[in-house]
Amino acid sequence: MRTTLKQIADVTKMSITIVSQVINNKPCRVSKEKRKLILETAEELNYRPNLVAVGLVKGSTNIIGLAISDIRNNFFSVLAKGVEEECQKNNWNMILCNSNDKHSKDMANLQMLADKGAGGIIFGMASETTEAMAQECIEFMQQEHLPYMLVDRYIDIQTDRIVCVDHVQGGYLATSYLLKMGHKNIAYITGPSNLIDSQQRLTGCNEALGEYGIVPNQNLIAEGKYTFESGAAAVEKLLKRSVKIDAIFAFNDMMAIGAIKRLREHGIQVPQDVSIVGYDDIFMDEFLDVPLTTIKQPMKEMGRAAARQIINPESRYKNGEKRIIFEPKLVIRKSVIDRNEL
């Protein structure tokens, strides 16, 4: 069982108040000899502070709640690693919650973290989240006086507490590269249409198409859910439309990998028949049979940046809150063929 302050007080024959003041390094009238005795006894008994009790006194704990939508998505697992590293650096801890992409579970996770006295929350909301659902989450955290940062996924709501990538630039980089490589019939597997990150990527794609005088074709767009399965399903939708496709830009790597699998099931080879670009740069990209060209998001750095905003008290509740926006980068591998040379 956990050693209590009372047990230390019993062994040292001093009051619980004095023991608490010494262990918490607070000013108190106690001799050096008694202070040394208390600290040595605490060490011998393997005393560890009860963080929940400390949190009740302080109103919060040195714990960050990381509430994400899908731990299977490598973006979030790498992001979690960054949050964890920043927590360890600053003697904080992390609680990880997974919603399985359900808003109701998001709310349950936020309520649980508030009840546990979390010192702040880093929140990657479910892909099904509507503007009203997002506002419900934000208002809850504000009412609970919980510092928070939204990561990557967010709806167009009134908050600047966001860590993300310049997704317009990311979409532009991917489409520009495919166009430079001679691809004219580019299909897009987007994320959920209600999410700003998906909308912004598509905006960047259309900007690049416009520079080449190409009018966007709605028949070349299929909506996904940022999952492996939805990438495969989107390919089925595109193939049934009987439109010419020589390249696909999937709005995350999991959907790109699902798309590659389904294309192969139809006897379509990557990149010989159809080139593919993904988005995220997850660890498995370079180990695929055909290493995946992708748009890199600095996932770990995003996690660390979000954690710093929670841990640093100066970042809390200021009118000048600002979004932290990282720049995406094109990572060229083998999944895109140069059609200019054919």
What are the pLDDT tens digits along the chain (342 aa)?
667 888 888 888 888 888 888 887 777 888 888 888 888 888 888 876 665 555 544 545 789 999 998 888 888 999 999 999 999 999 899 999 999 989 999 999 999 998 888 889 999 988 888 888 888 999 899 888 889 999 977 666 667 788 999 999 999 999 999 999 999 999 999 999 888 899 999 999 999 999 999 999 999 999 999 999 999 999 999 999 989 999 999 999 999 999 999 999 999 999 999 999 999 999 889 999 999 999 999 999 999 999 999 998 665 444 445 678 999 999 999 999 999 877
Query: Do residues 238 and 245 lie in contact, with contact meaning Cβ atoms separated by under 8 Å?
Result: yes
Distance CA 215, CA 223 (A): 19
Nearest to 171 by CA among 198, 151, 211, 193: 198
Distance, C-alpha 32 to centroid of its chain? 49
Burial class, 315, CB count within 10 angstroms (exposed 0-12 / middle 13-18 / buried 19+): middle
Which CATH class for the 60-165+299-326 domain?
Answer: alpha beta
Q: In the prediction, which pLDDT does 318 show?
A: 46
Q: In the prediction, which pLDDT does 54 show?
A: 53
Q: In the prediction, which pLDDT does 326 show?
A: 94
Neighbouring residues of 242: CB distance < 8 A, sequence distance ≥ 6: none
Q: In the prediction, which pLDDT does 187 show?
A: 98
CB hemisphere CA count around 316 (13 angstroms): 14
Query: Do residues 69 and 127 lie in contact, with contact meaning Cβ atoms separated by under 8 Å?
Result: yes
Instruction: Tell me the torsion sign for CA atoms 204, 210, 212, 216.
Output: positive
Query: Do residues 162 and 323 lie in contact, with contact meaning Cβ atoms separated by under 8 Å?
Result: yes
Nearest to 331 by CA among 290, 272, 287, 291: 291
Q: In the prediction, which pLDDT does 200 show?
A: 94
60-165+299-326 and 167-297+329-341 agree in CATH topology: yes
Neighbouring residues of 155: CB distance < 8 A, sequence distance ≥ 6: 125, 129, 130, 131, 133, 134, 135, 194, 195, 196
Three-class secondary structure of residue 85 per DSSP: helix
Query: Do residues 125 and 116 lie in contact, with contact meaning Cβ atoms separated by under 8 Å?
Result: no
Q: In the prediction, which pLDDT does 153 show?
A: 72
Q: Is it true that domain 167-297+329-341 has CATH number 3.30.70.20?
A: no
Distance CA 141, CA 154 (A): 15
Per-domain boundaries in the chain = 5-49, 60-165+299-326, 167-297+329-341
